[in-house]
Chains A and B, each alone.
Chain A
């Protein structure tokens, strides 16, 4: 008999209840339990960062959290970054403008990581941005478009 628990998790502002096997990762729960496939699993050992989501506002690797550990907490995924009416988050606009994505697989993790980072560091230097995304691997872009997008979004988010 599988070990399961009932959990209640708020994801992108919407509450979900589910009965999950305790060994299920938060990432797999979001993707397959809730059908929110925007969060991607790239390595399942906490290095590539593709699975990054925000839990209670902090960027974490959803492959290294069990779904049961998110019980009672608020999760934000890439699907929750844009406004209800579809207006893109400044980071999403900036990634689009600066060619900050190619295959798109690392992109959700980049966006959630940067959203959290810029909230706490509204005016970063390029060096600081590069260190902030050093926990997110991109095999396509060489990072430059991502860095440019982050710096541009920071300005937009500060209102300058």
Chain B
């Protein structure tokens, strides 16, 4: 079989529609009788609700109903379920769809107005009178666990959500025998989602007909269906969840939100479809984000810079509720030891409640934090021992001959963390070459002579991708010869349609244009998991390939009978099965499909199951580990503290690449997100939990004018864990970015002895470090 699509830069099939303005996102959908909703949200970070009076709002012309918790009735008065239960969770806190008698973050849903238009619904919000009794708010996780600290939840026993620990190896031995022990403390702040499309939900309840249908801008329709069914106490089969075109997800859209329940309830109780579109101000306060982690670490090493052990503690901001269980703190721990073989690790995390929007994975989840921590300690060793940062890495990488390498850490779900394949040192060398690392000192000196400060920073990462259990695919040839492909996996721009069409086309001998692809609709495929953690390519890829292969086999078996030829002499091209050497002998896939789905009273050929179709749940038997090395080159202006990223180089290995163009887009997009985290994206709260960065003038997303070109080179070390050798690529650009940028800034400002202990690095902070360093140097 000739390889035609796998590895080719096929232009995306999603694009013509999206380019001509014919995408169909949630807000583009209308239906007869549809009303619009707006939520009243808590203006205080922590307060008791004494009373709510909605009468003035309900009297407004154009308003149909106003609901509070009480209005939903006894049947719908329980809290949301914990979707990710874990023994680690000591105090489980989940929301009510509408707050009952306490609000715990600015933005929490308190009431919902349903009106003829969004504008009128917003007019009505101003007419709802809520009597709040303000309570002290918890904002700073560093003091939240002290005795006497105010409680984020009035009925909690403390602000501790839970504790976790990654411990393996003999840590006492490692630190006991080390030549050196160095320590560092730093804060990591990663910011919010800010997909360009906000969240949005349309609910329609048709109890005598199709049941409950929910259109939602989401990454995990099946999670939502199950969560909704469980919460309502109803059958999943009577609930349909559809994610239409989704304008970016990045993690926060992978959950299940109170608004999803509330809009379903109002649609049901009002017997009419209702739409709610989150506006950007709501997005700032009610879509989950990632925020603060404080790390205190010690590294034990030899005089040659070989790392023997890593230990310390993390204080992790949870926010007020726990919609994603312990996913985020867990994924901050599991990447330790990074790309290195470190014999002993003992790092704990305290997960702390605050009166803010819940923290959730945001592109990379906790992996950027875990990798940043490891990379910072590598930098520390490099600086303290005077060994080149690239060389320290070489002395510590897991080597190819050690693969599969069991790190000692445990993944969520209990499996051991095993690195399947990869050559980390080779990736480093590629990155160094791509970035002209070896000639950097010259560039730096020349620039310094002109009064300019250049710096270079390296970082390496691993990424556990492709988590299970599966993401199945059904491939079916129709009577027309067109091929229907259905999967559960939802797309928010990752090009799944194209990727899967390529795999099926190649295996089945059809052209990608003949493939009709449907996904993210729970009525069209029985079960799925979600688009998170760079898991789709490594799960859907194999299942699509396998299903197509099975269809091919079935087609050839039947064609062999029909054409009276041997299967070995048959080939499929452009949807036609031909006998090699006898081109007149052929039958189309469509004709074969008809044979397997004949009209009434005819028979399916003996020995064949009906339909030219197959379903596969083939995925990855473990977590394929992607890896990469990044090099950032920056210029710092000591006059202003401004950091310009001049150049950014990535050497990346995500195994076999299905569509290199799509992989490239994921890497570059991921890097820019990571640069945003490193330099720009900061959510600021006051000490009463009021968010202060509430618009795009105050909260800074990376723009084209400040972003460098990203040069990318690839290695393809196949993963042994799935049939295609694929590894995930969605987050590998983001994960190491902050570490590379921060290392580069420190390198540029070495003469000022600048050591950076938090990101995002803002210019004011840098000037303070520079001035301090200059003053010390003068003494």
Contacts and interface: CB of A to CB of B under 8 A. Distances in A.
Given A43-B696, A102-B493, A105-B25, A147 B245 contact: no
Prevailing SS type, chain B contact patch: loop
A62 interface: no
Interface residues of B, number: 54
B15 interface: yes
Interface in A18-37: 21, 23-24, 31-32, 36-37
A24 to B, nearest CB: 8
Contacts of B25: 37, 40, 105
A43 B280 contact: yes
B327 interface: no
B21 A131 contact: no
B669 interface: yes
Nearest to A78: B21
A9 B21 CA distance: 19
A124 interface: no
B194 A45 contact: no
A43 B39 CA distance: 17
A150 B238 CA distance: 47
Interface string A122-160: 000000011101101111111111110000000000000
> What is the size category of the interface that chain A forms with chain B?
35 or more
Nearest to A137: B701
Contacts of A105: 23, 25, 195-197, 247-248
Interface in B667-688: 668-673
A108 B672 CA distance: 21
Contact of A96 (B19, B23, B669, B733): B19
Prevailing SS type, chain A contact patch: loop
A115 interface: no
Interface in B1-40: 11-12, 14-16, 18-25, 27-28, 30
B670 A142 contact: yes
B21 A36 contact: yes
A50 interface: yes
Interface in B343-367: none
A21 B61 CA distance: 15
Contacts of A140: 196, 248, 493, 665, 669
B695 A104 contact: no
Nearest to A94: B19
Nearest to B9: A99
Given A38-B22, A47-B697, A143-B672, 8 more contacts: A42-B196, A42-B197, A88-B19, A103-B247, A105-B248, A140-B493, A142-B672, A144-B710
25 contacts: A24-B119, A43-B695, A47-B697, A48-B196, A77-B21, A78-B21, A96-B11, A96-B15, A102-B248, A102-B665, A102-B669, A103-B247, A105-B196, A130-B705, A131-B705, A134-B705, A139-B194, A139-B195, A139-B196, A139-B248, A139-B701, A142-B672, A142-B710, A143-B704, A144-B710
Interface of A: 21, 23-24, 31-32, 36-45, 47-48, 50, 77-79, 81-82, 88, 92, 95-97, 99, 101-108, 111, 129-131, 133-134, 136-147
Instruction: Give 4 closest A-B pairs by Cβ, nearest first.
Output: A38-B21, A105-B247, A103-B493, A104-B18
